[in-house]
A and B are shown apart, each in its own frame.
Chain A
Amino acid sequence: MAIDGPTIAEVLRQQGISRRGFLKFCATTASLMALPPSMVPAIAAALENARRPSVIWLSFQECTGCTESLTRSHSPSIEALILEQISLDYHHTLQAASGTAAEAARKAAMQENAGKYLLVVDGSIPLGNAGFSTIAGISNLDMLKETAAGAAAVIAVGTCAAYGGIPAAQPNPTGAVPVSAIIKDKPVLNVPGCPPIPVVITGVLAHFLTFGSLPELDALGRPKTFYGETIHDRCYRRPFYDQGKFAETFDDEGARKGWCLFKLGCKGPVTYNACATTKWNQGVSFPIQSGHGCIGCSEPGFWDAGPFYKALSMPIGPAKAAVGAAVVAGLAAGSAVALRNRSAKKSAQAAHQKVTVADLEKSK
């Protein structure tokens, strides 16, 4: 994966960064990669000899949210990442070149670093009709196959590239598939999320350049360091779940006290991601801390996995199935469900704090 040129340590030294600064860089890199601080000496030793890998970034059926996320990485910043740690040789949203010149840059990078470059893909690939998504007249499928052929590894960034995402949601009009459905002869690492956390994207790149290999993956191809535990397991509101304290509506007493959002549809218990600890916007917050449940965006098929605001414990099948079950179980059971629902609705209405326009004006 290495290309000729100075090592990471040499690049930093050339920029006047002291050994102390280098160790700080290693400490923040360890934190970024979700590795324990005890790994800092190993990271320092690896970075002494690591060289900047060539990276080709392809964007297919996507919304550019993943690139937007990448550009908001603060550790390292996108500038530091591009100038110091990787050689980003093709990214059609970020690069200055366009058209023939851009494609020439991609071809040159592929040729010069054959077998060594890292291919990053965001967006799904349409199989239905090549014309659904093309770049420079080349279909997404052809460009992926051609570019992946000489890559050391492929990183599928975002839920669309990892699992098909929203383009593949029912009825999947373009026949969208993830990278792993096409590339079978290269290591494919999935970094799902809609979008993924900025520092998780850069963390995976940092791991590759530090150790020259991909991190350990789970059964869905995700790095365990970031996706090894559920949001629920690492959620700071977890103690409330254990105590049985839940918000019933978004503005009741429980919501104001920061209680568990499970009953409001939080998918944290079945979602593997690092949001609860790494957080967003430089570690400021994440959806649950901001009062909204997790929607499970890093899981396969999250868009078709049932309503975002329905508790996981509730059935997600069609209404007729639930009614049928009630009939089978007897009218008494059906009545009990209806009674409980009415009771829950009444409680929610009682706890509901209404805010009028006058209140909002007063709070200005």
Chain B
Amino acid sequence: MPSTPADDNVWRGNALPLLNEIRHALERLLATGETTVIDLGALPMGAQDEAELLDALGTGEVDATVDAGGPSSVRETAFHGVWRVTHRNEAGETQARFIEIAFVPELLMSQREDVTDSSNALSKRLGVEQNIRK
């Protein structure tokens, strides 16, 4: 049976420039603390290109799932500070895929608004006066 073009095993070289962009972003993170987010959906990638990219990045120590408006996976790659972030909707369909170069991806950090809500909710539950307001 003829193979489909999508599953061929041909080096096209589309992953290499992206790996270099990630290298530059890591240098920038170290020098200035600036984070970089790369939208994989905006780049010309075939199935093999993406497989090459993911293979080159490997998997690291952290694997987290965020359940907010559907599951999002946050996976550190073998390169510390390089994260794969995949957003899915409640039906589990992929909505967006990013490579985030950061010490901690923003999605993993609790947000000030949510923390304020939590503080107020806990105060209310304990029947004590709320000290923190929005």
Interface positions of A (Cβ within 8 A of B): 12, 17-21, 23-25, 27-28, 30-32, 34, 36-38, 40, 74-77, 80, 234-240, 251, 255-258, 276-279, 282-283, 285, 289-291, 353, 355, 359-360, 363
For residue B114, CB closer than 8 A to chain A, the reply is yes
Report the stretch among B42-50, B75-83, B120-128 that lies at the interface: B42-50
How close is B51's CB to chain A, nearest CB, in angstroms?
Answer: 12
CB < 8 Å neighbour of A277 from B41, B87, B91: B41
**Once the chains bind, are B1 and A31 in contact (CB under 8 Å)?**
no
In the complex, what's the smallest C-beta–C-beta distance from B121 to chain A, in angstroms? 12
- Nearest 5 A/B pairs, CB to CB: A21-B68, A37-B37, A363-B1, A258-B5, A236-B46
Identify A21's interface contact among B6, B12, B69, B93, CB under 8 A.
Answer: B69
Name the B residues within 8 Å of A282 (CB-CB).
Answer: 93-94
Looking at the assembled complex, report how far the CB atom of B25 sits from the nearest CB atom of chain A, in whole angstroms: 12
Interfacial residues of chain B within 13-67, with CB under 8 A of chain A in the complex: 13-14, 37-39, 41-49, 66
- Asked if A37 contacts B38 (CB within 8 A), the reply is yes
Shortest CB–CB separation between residue A203 and chain B, in angstroms? 11
**Contact B96–A31 (Cβ < 8 Å):** yes
Asked if B130 CB lies within 8 Å of chain A CBs, one says no
Is the beta-carbon distance between B44 and A236 smaller than 8 angstroms? Answer: yes
Q: Which residues of chain A come closer than 8 Å to B69, judged between CB atoms?
A: 12, 17, 21, 24-25
Q: Are B2 and A285 in contact (CB under 8 A)?
A: no
The answer to whether A291 touches B4 (Cβ under 8 A) is yes
Establish whether residues A276 and B44, one from each chain, have CB atoms under 8 Å apart when the complex forms: yes
**Inter-chain contact B111/A28, CB cutoff 8 Å:** no
B42 to A24, Cβ gap below 8 A? no
The complex places the Cα of A24 from the Cα of B42 at a distance, in Å, of: 17
CB-based contact A256/B44 at 8 Å: no
The 8 Å CB contact of B5, one of A21, A80, A283, A289, is: A289
Query: A74, B44: Cβ atoms under 8 Å?
Result: no
Do A20 and B66 have beta carbons less than 8 Å apart?
Answer: yes
Query: How far is B86's CA from A282's CA once the two chains are assembled, in angstroms?
Result: 13
Most B Cβ at <10 Å: residue of A239, A291, A360:
A239
B98, chain A: closest CB distance, angstroms: 7
Partner of A283, one of B3, B6, B37, B94: B94
Q: Is B110 an interface residue (CB 8 A)?
A: yes
The answer for the CA separation of A172 and B72 in the assembled complex, in Å, is 49
Check if A20 sits within 8 Å of B4, measured CB to CB.
no
Q: In the complex, what distance in Å separates the CA atom of A76 from the CA atom of B98? A: 17
Q: CA–CA, A238 to B72, complex, Å?
A: 32
User: Within the complex, what minimum Cβ distance (angstroms) separates B104 from chain A?
Assistant: 13
Residue of B nearest to A258 (CB): B5
A23 contacts which chain B residues (CB < 8 A)? 106-107, 111
For the complex, is B113 an interface residue (Cβ under 8 Å from A)?
Answer: yes
- Hey, which chain B residues are within 8 Å of A257, CB to CB? 5, 8, 10
CA distance A44 to B39 in the complex (A): 17
Per the bound structure, the CA–CA distance linking A76 and B88 in Å amounts to 10
**A34 CA to B89 CA in the complex, in Å?**
18
User: How many angstroms between the C-alpha atoms of A234 and B42 in the bound complex?
Assistant: 9
Q: Are B1 and A256 in contact (CB under 8 A)?
A: no
Contact at B68–A18, with CB atoms within 8 Å? yes
| Contact (Cβ within 8 A) A251 B2 | yes
Could you list 28 A-B pairs, sorted by A, with CB under 8 Å?
A18-B68, A18-B111, A20-B110, A21-B68, A24-B68, A27-B98, A28-B87, A28-B95, A31-B96, A31-B98, A37-B37, A40-B37, A77-B89, A80-B89, A236-B44, A239-B13, A256-B2, A257-B8, A258-B10, A277-B41, A278-B41, A282-B94, A283-B41, A283-B94, A289-B46, A289-B47, A360-B1, A363-B1
